[in-house]
Structure 1
Amino acid sequence: MSIKHIKNIALSAVLVLSITALSACSKDEDKSEPLAELDLKTITTEELQSNLEDDSWIVVDTRQNDAYNGWSLDNVERGGHIEGAVDFSANWLDVDSDKKDEVLDEALKTKGIDSNKNIVLYDANGEDVKSVANYLNEKGYNKLYTYDVSEWAKDEKLPMVSYKNYKMIVPPQVVREVLDGKTPETFENAKNIKIVEASWGEESEAYSKGHVPTSVHINTDTVEPPPNWMLANDKDLAKFALDYGFTKDDTVIVTGPDTMASYRVAVILRYIGISDVRVLNGGNDAWVSAGYELETKSNQKTPGDNFGATIPSNSDLIDTIPEIKEALDDPKFTLVDNRSWKEYIGKESGYSYHDKAGRIPGAVYGYAGTSSVTLEDYRNIDNTMRNADEIKALWDSSKIDTNNHLSFMCGSGWRAAEVLTYANVMGFENTSLYSDGWIGWSSDTSNPTETGEPK
């Protein structure tokens, strides 16, 4: 199984639209003629509203994914996306990847952006649409139209969709505002904002090569010490919290070069009891893509003497092996295995330091990527969060009941921490992380395991 198995799953309710010609174009002209250098026709809000049931049209949000998720960017009055719109961000076109053409072609198919359809592209800055329109036109798409989403957002009666907990993953522009001393949306009650950088190794490694300004480095070994790299015990986590001067009332933004490490540390910070933990969506690459510079100077942590609560204060967020064993008998519980298909069926362990392969009996395949260090099933090509409809389609294809309590697992907690956070962003809060994952489970030979494709 792979992402290709769901590429034809229909996305919910495509918006449908009619158009009027620009001043120099008549309404009756042949709309299928090739574009001449972004000579896009524009539709009005009224026309958009009056044609929502014509499935020969599709509307596409070309802005950065944070705006699609819910953030009010580019001076748009309301964040989120037009109900039924799919996403195809102009930012994706700037990613340097050998697989970019393949990945973007797959995205077009998955989202139903078909050259036979009339495609309305919208943005709020007048630039994103141009980039995507040029890209599509070069691929033979010629039924392309444009709309300014700012007009839609001005009317409170027109529906826009924001993910319930979109604030948990933040855009670089919002982090920049924080650094500039401003108070961005959703930060009105933030008492003490701290920015940290999560990566493996000491400061001489990734951190020294560049990090978001003012961020303090957290070596992931601190919270999951070698040689087993399992979650540190509560006593060591309490020491970690005081060493960094964290308190339960902090607002912490986790950044870093590897988004997976950021999500791993973010979940641990939530577990110990910090009330407001967020992650830079897309990591350091998103920061640079937004036009901001990384700094290389070392920022030192400031120790504290009182976290303000018992650690852990959010113990239900992380499941232990005994808890998993008991919960697997509960029909209202689902253990979601976010590893590659080959790991899931036991063809490979996924790790150089762990040779046991297989899965926990009862765990449901929850998708991830092609290896233990990738998560392409849940990310866009720029490593931002994939849209919720497509993530939900993955789960539906594995018959994952989202009414159940969902406990996410992988090999040792990194991939699953990211997926757990995305689930929370989407509004699924009856969730947890089985942190020790397959490595922790299979290290005890008394625990049952299985291999092969499940029946």
Structure 2
Amino acid sequence: MSPLITAAELRAATGLVVLDATWNLMGPPGREAYDAGHVPGAYFVDLDTELAGPPGAGGRHPLPSASVVEALLRRTGIDGDSAVVVYDAANSMAAARARFVLRYFGVENVRVLDGGLAAWKAAGGEVSAEVPADAKGEFVTAGGSLQVLDAEGAAEIASTGVLLDARAPERFAGEVEPMDKVAGHIPGAVNAPTTGNVAEDGRFLPADELRERFAKLGADGSQPVAAYCGSGVTAAHEALALEIAGVDAPVYVGSWSEWITDPERPVATGRD
């Protein structure tokens, strides 16, 4: 089954749990956009507090605790048999993070609405300001359902395979760094800005185009592939694009914001 669902498919489906993961790195809070209008019946999930743990030694967006995710799943009524759809109001960066976290904690059937809220509206979908009542689910989380990397694992992939850096070229090169205290990238990493995975309308490129894009970077599945970014959000989007292309790629969750917490770890700059 595709990790994506179209707006038309969502409109025709029944019995799905829909989550709105709208989030803005620089603000305003995603909750404001959700309150203004969302897919009817969708529950809001907060990336900073429900899809990530507190920032610190593990980076700006480490994995949340099992108890936090369990509470999220129970209030939205998700159980082991649920079919879940996640979306956001941009180009699926936050939605991909939501899918990644839910699957890591044991929810198997999670798909991303391709094109997000804009695609929903374009397909004739209505929006609602009504907030659904909390459910009373009984899901018990099981962390570790997806492979993830730590700093040591990311460094190994960078030297033996293809470690894709999903950030913008200028951040990869160390020319600018708006979020973290140190600029640059993990030595050996290859820049593959995740914005290149989607078209202007926010929908993912077709699988064959994504496959071609990643193959040109050496990420054709013939050697180990992994993804990282600034804090583990856009890396999940990169991993989703790779999955669409048929390439398995674990995420270095701590990403650059964790890498630089150890001054002994090397830092590279430049676009090569």
TM over 0.5: yes
Q: 1:218 to 1:397 in 2, by over 3 A?
A: same
Q: Report the CA distance between 1:207 and its aligned residue.
A: 0.8
Find out whether 1:290 has 2:118 as its counterpart.
no
Q: Give 1:194's match in structure 2, choosing from 9, 12, 17.
A: 17
What is the rounded CA distance, in whole Å, between the counterparts of 2:178 and 2:215 in structure 1?
25
Q: Which has the higher contact order (CA 8 A, sep 6+)?
A: 2
* Aligned counterpart, 1:272: 105
Match of 1:386, SS state, is coil
Q: Please say which structure displays the higher CA radius of gyration.
A: 1
Partner Cα separation in structure 1 for residue 220 and residue 107 of structure 2: 29
* Residue in structure 2 matched with residue 324 of structure 1 by the alignment: 154
**Structure 1 residue 415, shift from structure 2 partner:** 1.8
1:398 corresponds in structure 2 to: 217
Instruction: Render the CA deviation track for 1:174-220: whole Å, top value 9, x for unaligned.
Output: 11112xx4xxxxxxxxxx63111112387751110111111111011
Residue in 2 aligned with 1:359?
A: 185
Q: Which runs of 5+ in 1 are unaligned?
A: 1-164, 182-191, 369-374
Q: Any conservation in 1 of the 2:154–2:252 contact (CA below 8 Å)?
A: yes
Residue 367 to residue 199, structure 1, CA distance change in 2 (3 Å):
closer
The equivalent of 1:174 in structure 2 is: 9
Instruction: Work out the CA distance in 1 between the residues paired with 2:241 and 2:215.
Output: 16
Of 129, 133, 151, 1:300 maps to 133
Alignment of 1:30-429 (within 5 A): 165=1, 167-178=2-13, 181=14, 193-200=16-23, 204-221=31-48, 222-227=50-55, 228-258=60-90, 259-307=92-140, 310-316=141-147, 318-329=148-159, 331=160, 333-351=161-179, 354-368=180-194, 375=195, 377-428=196-247
Structure 2: tracts of 5 or more residues without a match: none
DSSP 3-state at the match of 2:21: strand
Specify which of 436, 441, 445 is matched with residue 259 of structure 2: 441
How many Å separate the matches in 2 of 1:418 and 1:306? 25
Maintained 8 Å contact 2:155/2:186? no
- Show CA shifts across 1:29-82 (max 9, x none): xxxxxxxxxxxxxxxxxxxxxxxxxxxxxxxxxxxxxxxxxxxxxxxxxxxxxx
Cα shift readout 1:383-424 (whole Å, capped 9, x = no counterpart): 001123332333233333432222111111222212211221
Shift of residue 437 of structure 1? 1.4
CA contact (8 A) 1:412 1:438 kept: yes
Given that residues 157 and 224 in structure 2 are in contact (C-alpha distance below 8 angstroms), is that contact kept between their aligned partners in structure 1? no
Letter in 2 for 1:312: G
C-alpha deviation, 1:249, in angstroms: 2.4
Deviations 1:291-350 (A, max 9, x none): 22111111133132333xx5214141x222233244445x3x321111111111111124
Corresponding residue SS for 1:336: strand
- Assess if the C-alpha contact under 8 Å between 1:380 and 1:386 holds in 2: yes
Instruction: Say whether the 8 Å CA contact 1:359–1:451 is kept in structure 2.
Output: yes
Q: Which amino acid aligns with 1:242?
A: R
TM-score by length of 1: 0.54
Distance 2:261 2:102 in 1: 26
Distance 1:305 1:289 in 2: 35
Identity of aligned residues (%): 26
The 3 A distance-change label for structure 1 pair 441 and 413 is same
Conserved in 1, the CA contact under 8 Å of 2:165 and 2:189?
A: yes
Q: Secondary structure at the match of 2:120?
A: helix
CA distance in 1, matches of 2:261, 2:211: 32
Instruction: Return the offset for 1:286.
Output: 0.2
State the alpha-carbon separation in 2 of the partners of residues 194 and 204 from structure 1. Answer: 18
SS at match of 1:205: helix
Root-mean-square deviation over aligned CA pairs: 2.2
Counting matched residue pairs gives: 262
8 Å contact from structure 1 (residues 243, 303) kept in 2: yes
Q: How big is the shift at 1:381? A: 1.2
Change (3 A) 1:212 1:193: same
* 445-454 vs 214-223, greater mean Cα deviation: 445-454
Instruction: Name the aligned partner's letter for residue 145 of structure 2.
Output: N
